[in-house]
């Protein structure tokens, strides 16, 4: 068998050429594929062959291996960096930090610090409406093209959503990127969360809200001055409430955190899962690989096993009421298009339902009370509205709650300042489409676009004056009208098209109406029952300082004192 012999110079050229060839293979995708066998062959085979040729000229095998690896990977990485920074790249004209243009590892680092929302906002303040935040990703805050991104004729979900799914099973609704399949799988969610279905859930919400209020009231005790008070972390109790309600609505019960506290550590597990998944959104192709390392993603697996267990139990036992899982599992057989949905796809809805129904509501409720306590005048105004609408009975009538203007203004203003997803609402052109137009800009296929709500919601061109401040009145007046604030009058500008806390278009949040009913009831009943203040000694500034962007907003403790109202 003839074995070619190369000089040392030719060996360097051989390894370098292989590096360029491998990059050419991957250049179309800008990221390695999730099919790991070809990746391993392409990244391992060339250095092995090159080592053989180097060893023909260098007696030491270790030195030959070093030269082979250094030359091949040096050429590969050099080619990648040169291309990503060159005019040949489709995103060359978009400004952004050099490190972000070169590698997604930069944004992984930012994400790991929990302050991605603040960092992306600082980039837009420096570079403008369009910023390149990755080798193949831009951030856009141009509201005039939001319909082109998120609307009915917009783009499907981008690659970050691959990191939100279990790669070993069929994806849940939130992780489906194919528009037709998403539309098909969305139908039972629409049915489960329709206006008529949500109306049926109201008694369950009311029951759990009253349990929350009564449990907090029973926990009050006299302080040193004889005042009956309760001191504690309100965020934790919102978590107990939301898990109990979510368990009722999705799994037919099974959670009693308000009664037993979180003795099984469910909420810390959810928080750890959220933190683990946050960095994976930047390397979705590596999700399946990293899930094999418990030290990195063990909490993700644990939480999925927990959610799958409850979902499987609920599917097996059925239900005597039409809860959310009743529609997701098509128990009455009325949804013909659901017959081909696999059991794994149905069970994956359990994890999605927990996150959507529990974690997001907790974060917003905590934010509402934080901002109200920071602004006693607005707290008093909201309490007056609650007392006026519900003078003698518990505030549990959803239709009357929905008509409370200042209540809705407070919730809107909280969602503006603290959206559930602060940064990564990502979309990308349909596969095979070639690209997508955003106004007058053409986005090539393979490019992802994010719409960072934290930045959009605080942009003074959309919300002014005081875009960083809590002013519910901005929602009570029409755009550019005059309203009173403190002792002065200001010209308010509120661009409703820039307010996207529940997203928009075919992939918007299907649980918006249910979440709003939950929040209104909790807020109103607690304001009816209690006088609420920050706990003595609580560092108020710590709330915003410790708030984190982990794809889903993560709030810190909100320590308060409750006193029963007379």
CB–CB of 279/112 below 8 Å?
A: yes
CA distance 165 to 282: 14
- In degrees, rounded to 5, the angle at the alpha carbon of residue 358 between the alpha carbons of residues 354 and 361 is 145
Q: How far is CA 559 from the centre of its chain?
A: 25
CB–CB of 457/498 below 8 Å?
A: yes
Which residues are within 8 A (CB) of 506 and not within 5 positions of it... i.e. 6 or more apart? Answer: 152, 179, 182, 183, 186
Buried b (16+ CB within 10 A) or exposed e, 349-383: bbbbbbbbbbbbbbbbbbbbbbbbbebeebbebbb
SS3 (DSSP) at 351: helix
CA distance 185 to 289: 27
Q: Which amino acids are annotated as binding site, given as ranges?
A: 509
Q: Which amino acids are annotated as binding site for heme, given as ranges?
A: 509
Tokens of 278: 């946050």
Q: What is the DSSP letter of 30?
A: S
Which phi and psi (to 5°) does residue 239 adopt? -65, -45
CA distance 302 to 270: 9
CA atoms within 13 A on the CB side of 192: 26
Pairing assessment for the beta strands 552-554 and 493-494 based on DSSP bridges? unpaired
């Amino acid at each position: 068998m003839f074995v070619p012999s190369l000089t040392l110079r030719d060996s360097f050229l051989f390894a370098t050429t292989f590096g360029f060839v491998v990059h050419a293979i991957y250049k179309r995708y800008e990221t390695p594929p999730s099919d790991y066998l070809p990746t391993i062959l392409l990244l391992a085979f060339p250095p092995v062959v090159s080592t053989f040729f180097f060893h023909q000229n260098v007696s030491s095998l270790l030195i030959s291996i070093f030269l082979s690896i250094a030359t091949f990977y040096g050429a590969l990485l050099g080619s990648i960096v040169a291309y990503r920074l060159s005019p040949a790249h489709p995103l060359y004209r978009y400004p952004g930090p050099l490190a972000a243009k070169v590698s997604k590892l930069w944004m992984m680092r930012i994400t790991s610090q929990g302050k991605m929302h603040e960092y992306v906002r600082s980039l837009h303040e420096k570079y403008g409406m369009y910023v390149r935040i990755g080798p193949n990703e831009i951030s856009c805050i141009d509201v005039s093209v939001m319909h082109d991104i998120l609307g009915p004729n917009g783009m499907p979900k981008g690659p970050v959503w691959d990191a939100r799914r279990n790669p070993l099973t069929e994806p849940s609704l939130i992780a489906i990127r194919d528009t037709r399949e998403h539309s098909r799988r969305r139908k039972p969610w629409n049915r489960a969360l329709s206006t008529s279905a949500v109306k049926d859930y109201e008694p369950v919400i009311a029951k759990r809200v009253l349990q929350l209020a009564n449990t907090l009231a029973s926990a009050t005790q006299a302080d040193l001055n004889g005042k009956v008070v309760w001191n504690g972390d309100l965020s934790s109790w919102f978590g107990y409430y939301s898990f109990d309600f979510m368990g009722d609505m999705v799994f037919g019960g099974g959670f009693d955190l308000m009664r037993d506290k979180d003795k099984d550590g469910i909420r810390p597990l959810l928080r750890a899962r959220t933190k683990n998944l946050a960095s994976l959104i930047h390397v979705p192709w590596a999700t399946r690989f990293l899930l094999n390392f418990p030290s990195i993603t063990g909490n993700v697996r644990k939480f999925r096993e927990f959610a799958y267990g409850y979902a499987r139990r609920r599917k097996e036992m059925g239900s005597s009421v039409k809860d959310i899982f009743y529609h997701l599992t098509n128990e009455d057989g009325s949804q013909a298009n659901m017959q081909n949905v696999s059991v794994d796809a149905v069970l994956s809805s359990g994890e999605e339902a927990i996150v959507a129904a529990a974690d997001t509501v907790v974060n917003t409720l905590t934010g509402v009370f934080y901002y109200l306590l920071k602004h006693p005048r607005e707290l008093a105004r909201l309490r007056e509205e609650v007392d006026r609408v519900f003078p003698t009975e518990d505030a549990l009538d959803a239709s009357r709650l929905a008509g409370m203007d200042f209540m809705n203004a407070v919730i809107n203003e909280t969602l503006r300042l603290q959206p559930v997803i602060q940064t990564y609402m990502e979309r990308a052109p349909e596969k095979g489409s070639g690209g997508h137009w955003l106004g007058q800009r053409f986005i090539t296929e393979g490019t992802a676009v994010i719409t960072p709500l934290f930045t959009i919601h605080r942009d003074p061109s959309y919300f002014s004056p005081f875009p960083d401040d809590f002013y519910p009145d901005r929602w009570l007046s029409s755009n550019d009208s005059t309203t009173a604030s403190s002792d002065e009058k200001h010209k308010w500008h509120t661009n409703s098209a820039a307010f996207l806390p529940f997203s928009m278009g075919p992939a918007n949040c299907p649980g918006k109406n249910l979440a709003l009913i939950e929040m209104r009831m909790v807020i109103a009943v607690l304001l009816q029952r209690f006088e609420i203040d920050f706990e003595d000694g609580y560092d108020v500034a710590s709330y915003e300082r410790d708030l984190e962007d982990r794809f889903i907003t993560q709030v810190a403790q909100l320590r308060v004192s409750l006193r029963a109202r007379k």
